[in-house]
Structure 1
Amino acid sequence: MTRIVEHPVTDASAGPYGITVTDDGAVWFTLVHAGQVGRRDVDGSLQFVDLGDTAQPSQLSRATDESVWVTDTTGNRIVHVGRGARDSIRVLNEVSVPTMESSPFGITSLYDGTVWFTELAADALGRVDIMGRVTEFPVGRSDGMASMIAGSGESVWFTLNQGNAVGHVRGGDAAIQYFELPRPASGPVGITVAEDGAVWFAEVLGGALGRIGRDGVLTEVLLPDSDSKPHAITAAPAGGCWFTLWGSNQVGFVSDAGELTLHDLPTPASEPHGIAVAPDGHVWVALERGLLAELA
């Protein structure tokens, strides 16, 4: 039986949103309304770094064993946060996005050290190379709202929230291949690459999870509650994926075969958003009401 423990980290107004876990076991999370990034160490201690009064840190991706990349959506930059002097966390570096007011949002790191991100307001993807240079790639569709992004090998996958499609770039600046969703206005958001190579994504408006197999076949798994609003999704090391249900206040697991298991969160209306799996197999969820949920 899955045990769920909720850890208070802020008040509800700060808004824990994105989350990831680095190889040292630390849980990193964004406070989207407070302009901060937090770190919870394995001993439960908390640290925070302020990105500025106008910052809106949204999503994170692991950079090194003990640092993360963060998108600052309103600040139009990519920020590298990690340990500094006396083990306190601080901003290590930041990279400006060339297109003004592009609203960087989703982010992922590839094995070669490059960092890819989406630009919500510019219909583009961005790539930061190992020298800190940014290249932008138009997605070729207007008002699609490129949302979240996931990487695997040399490939990146991303969702077009308003374009009702999933895009795939097979390495570097290759042409984008699109997979159109079968039902209109499904609102794809979270996306991940599972251990078997299949791509899973969450349809926040469609009440479903989507899957693109390695053979390119797209299928959907309809959720029991069509208003459950699946938001973020992440691959489990042993197979399957974990995902958040913002509308129904749940965390779910889907097997590689499409079988569903749902878990109710203890705090009502906790607003689960980001989700990540730690090296020890525990699942961490950012709850916008000021909590982190741990499933073990």
Structure 2
Amino acid sequence: MTSVLLAGAGAAMADSDRRIEEFGPIPNPLGTPCEIEFDRDGYLWIEQIAANSMGRFDVESGEFREYPLPTPGAIPGGMELGPDGGIWFPEVIGNQIVRLDPATGGMREFPLPWAGALGNGGGGRYGASASDDLTFGTDGAAYFTLIGLSAIGRLDIKTGEFSKIPIATGAVIAIIQPGPGDTIVAAETVRNQIVVLDLHTLTVREFPLPQPLSGPQGITTGIDGAVWFTEALGQRLGRLDVETGEITEVDLIAKRGDQPLPITPGNPLPVPTTMKTAGDGKLYFTQGGLLFPSFGNKIGVYDIRTGQLEEITTPSPASTPCDLNTQKDDEVWVGLLVANKVGRIQLG
């Protein structure tokens, strides 16, 4: 474990009137922060992908501590604060689910029971399951992606029991989130569909997108009860009414109106990737993240009540916003992959 202080950078004026305050850089040059999560004591935990570690940031004091994963080269995936107070995340290559104790930084690994990369019958240290994101359902269980197995995994965190929910062959799910009611939702990036998992029956419904090669990735539940998602290749946002199956889309390029493509040290296209609903009821989405590394430097904001689009530029050029956190009602936090920093947007 290492400990240093992170300084808050001076906030730069964004395209809108709002600002992003940046903290960093992270001491480890291989930090590459993506997903971030607050624990119950208010510490911000940071997924450090290339460094194979987890960072803990004290927003008030600026102190930063680093905790390496027990398994070398395991690569931490997207995390979530569990109902037990632990920080839970998968290992993309390590073939395990991890519980991090926020009080100590200690980690307990739960090996996935499915075959590893060498087909060793399960329990292998390194695996082809490629679980890269995790969330919790209303039943208290952890649900996680299994890219290499075209499935969604489930872990009962009380008993340690694993189960697997198959999807169609070739389904590539990178992000998984709570859906409306007792559902879990995910985007099938390659097969161009939205997945809705019923937690009562553990059955899957798939909703094909209207336009081919849209590249859905980020997904969240809006304040209107619908499932909203990003289309990274289509430069659009989408809305799914789970009850009717109706899908409507928002063209981000058209929403920009007559504005010219921005000439900045970042990708001029939106490339919407991860997305969350914030405390102000708006959709916040990153532009150019890990799966579509376009070196973007903006956070998009879409108001589903008015249809207005806002874009906020990060002070760091080509920062590549990777993932968002909206646990706090009055703030949005973002991991800046290439800039090796974390950022904060104040709401209100």
Paired with 2:218 and 2:65, the residues of 1 have a C-alpha distance of 27
In 1, Cα distance between equivalents of 2:225 and 2:39: 22
| Distance change in 2, residues 1:277/1:23 (3 Å) | farther
- TM-fit CA distance, 1:125: 0.4
CA contact (8 A) 1:23 1:65 kept: no
Runs of 4+ in 1 over 6 A off after TM superposition: none
Identify which of 55, 65, 73 aligns with 1:47: 65
Greater Rg by CA: 2
Cα deviation for residue 216 of structure 1 reads 3.1
Q: Which residue does 2:336 correspond to in 1?
A: 287
How many residues are treated as equivalent by the alignment? 291
Instruction: Tell whether the 8 Å contact from 1:166 to 1:179 is kept in structure 2 after alignment.
Output: yes
1:179 alignment partner in structure 2: 207
Equivalent position SS for 1:121: helix
Q: 1:142, 1:111 → 2: CA distance? A: 27
Alpha carbons of 1:48 and 1:11: their partners in 2 closer, same or farther (altered >3 Å)?
Answer: closer
- Tell me how far apart the structure 2 counterparts of residues 227 and 217 of structure 1 sit (CA, whole Å): 27
Partner of 1:150: 177
Q: What does residue range 1-296 of structure 1 map to in structure 2 within 5 Å?
A: 1-8=17-24, 9-43=26-60, 44-51=62-69, 52-64=71-83, 66-84=85-103, 88-91=104-107, 93-99=108-114, 100=116, 101-129=128-156, 130-139=158-167, 141-152=168-179, 153-214=181-242, 215-224=244-253, 227-246=269-288, 247=294, 248-257=296-305, 258-289=307-338, 290-296=340-346
Deviations 1:241-283 (A, max 9, x none): 1110013310011112342111111111111111011425211
Per-residue deviation, 1:12: 4.5
C-alpha separation in 2, matches of 1:5 and 1:236: 17
Cα distance in 2 for partners of 1:16, 1:251 equals 16
Calculate the TM-score normalised by the size of structure 1.
0.91
* CA displacement at 1:40 relative to structure 2: 1.4
In structure 1, what is the equivalent of residue 121 of structure 2? none
CA–CA distance in structure 1, aligned partners of residues 91 and 19 of structure 2: 33
Which has the larger share of strand?
1
Give TM-score scaled by structure 2 length. 0.78
- 1:37 & 1:105 partners in 2: Cα distance? 15
Amino acid aligned to 1:249? N
SS at match of 1:104: coil
Tell me how large the CA RMSD over aligned residues is.
1.9
Cα offset for 1:172?
3.8
**Equivalent residue of 1:59, what SS?**
coil
Q: Which runs of 5+ in 1 are unaligned?
A: none
